[in-house]
A and B are shown apart, each in its own frame.
Chain A
Amino acid sequence: MAAEVTVTSSDVGLVSQGGARRRPRAPWLRSPKVVAGLGVAGFFILMGVFGPLIVPADPSATSAAVLQPPSLEHLLGTTATGEDVLSQVLAGARLSLVVGFTAAVVGEAIAILVGITAGYLGGLADEVLSLVTNVFLVIPVLPLQILIVTYLGDGGWLLLALVIALTTWSHGARRLRAQTLSIRQRDYVQAARAAGEPTWRTVGFEILPNVSAIVITSFVFHVTSAIVVQTGLAFLGLGNVSDWSWGSVLYWSDNSNAFLLGAWWWFVPPGLCLAFLGSGLALINLGIDEVINPRLRTGLKAARLFGRARAVGNEH
Chain B
Amino acid sequence: MKAPDGLDGVPVLEARGLTKLFKVRSERGAGYRRGRVLYAVDGVNLALRPGRSVALVGESGSGKSTVARLLAHLYPITAGEVRLNGRPTRPRFARARRAYARNVQLIFQDPFASLNPTHRIRYQLTRVLRLHGYARGRDQTAQVLEDLLARVQLTPANQYLEKFPHELSGGQLQRVAIARALAARPLVLLADEPVSMLDVSIRLGVLNLLAALKVQERLAILYITHDIASARYFAEETLVMFLGQLVEGGPSEELTQRPAHPYTQLLISSAPDPSKRGVRTEGRPPRAGGRPSPEGCRFAGRCPHTMPVCRDTTPVVSDLGGGHWVRCWLHEPASAETVGASATRPDQQEVARP
Interfacial residues, chain A to chain B (CB-CB below 8 A): 1-3, 6-7, 10-11, 14-15, 19, 22-23, 186-188, 190-199, 205-206, 209-210, 212
| Complex Cα spacing A19 to B74, Å | 37
B162 interface residue (CB < 8 Å to A): yes
Contact pick for B101, options A2, A194, A199, CB 8 Å = A194
Check if B97 sits within 8 Å of A196, measured CB to CB: yes
Choose the segment among B196-204, B240-248, B301-309, B314-322 that binds chain A (4+ C-beta atoms closer than 8 Å). Answer: B196-204
Check if B115 sits within 8 Å of A188, measured CB to CB: yes
Contacts of A196 in B (CB 8 A): 91, 94-101, 131
List, sorted by A's number, 23 A–B pairs whose CB atoms are closer than 8 Å.
A3-B204, A6-B169, A7-B171, A7-B202, A10-B169, A15-B159, A19-B158, A23-B164, A187-B109, A188-B117, A190-B69, A193-B97, A194-B72, A194-B74, A195-B97, A195-B131, A195-B184, A196-B98, A196-B131, A198-B94, A206-B116, A209-B119, A210-B116
B257 interface residue (CB < 8 Å to A): no
B110 interface residue (CB < 8 Å to A): yes
B205 interface residue (CB < 8 Å to A): yes
Contact pick for A197, options B94, B100, B162, CB 8 Å = B94
B293 interface residue (CB < 8 Å to A): no
| Complex Cα spacing A11 to B194, Å | 22
Interfacial residues, chain B to chain A (CB-CB below 8 A): 69, 72-74, 91, 94-101, 106, 108-110, 113-119, 127-128, 131, 158-159, 162, 164, 166-167, 169, 171-172, 180, 184, 199, 201-202, 204-205
In the complex, residue of chain A having the shortest beta-carbon distance to the beta carbon of B114: A187
Known: A6-B202, A23-B166. A195 touches B101 (CB 8 A): yes
- CB B40 to nearest CB in A, in angstroms, measures 16
| Complex Cα spacing A188 to B123, Å | 13
In the complex, residue of chain A having the shortest beta-carbon distance to the beta carbon of B118: A209
Check if A194 sits within 8 Å of B113, measured CB to CB: no
- CB A205 to nearest CB in B, in angstroms, measures 8
Contacts of B100 in A (CB 8 A): 196
Check if B201 sits within 8 Å of A197, measured CB to CB: no
| Complex Cα spacing A15 to B109, Å | 28
In the complex, residue of chain A having the shortest beta-carbon distance to the beta carbon of B172: A10
Contact pick for B171, options A6, A23, A186, A210, CB 8 Å = A6
- CB A240 to nearest CB in B, in angstroms, measures 44
- CB B271 to nearest CB in A, in angstroms, measures 21
In the complex, residue of chain A having the shortest beta-carbon distance to the beta carbon of B112: A187
Check if B113 sits within 8 Å of A187, measured CB to CB: yes
Check if B116 sits within 8 Å of A195, measured CB to CB: no
Contact pick for A14, options B94, B96, B115, B159, CB 8 Å = B159
In the complex, residue of chain B having the shortest beta-carbon distance to the beta carbon of A21: B167
| Complex Cα spacing A23 to B96, Å | 37
Contacts of A210 in B (CB 8 A): 116-118
Which of B73, B114, B162, B180 has its CB near the most chain A CB atoms (within 10 A)?
B114
| Complex Cα spacing A194 to B74, Å | 6
The 6 A-B pairs at the shortest CB distance, nearest first, are namely A196-B98, A2-B201, A196-B97, A209-B118, A187-B114, A187-B113
| Complex Cα spacing A58 to B157, Å | 64
Check if B113 sits within 8 Å of A188, measured CB to CB: yes
| Complex Cα spacing A205 to B123, Å | 11
Contacts of A186 in B (CB 8 A): 113
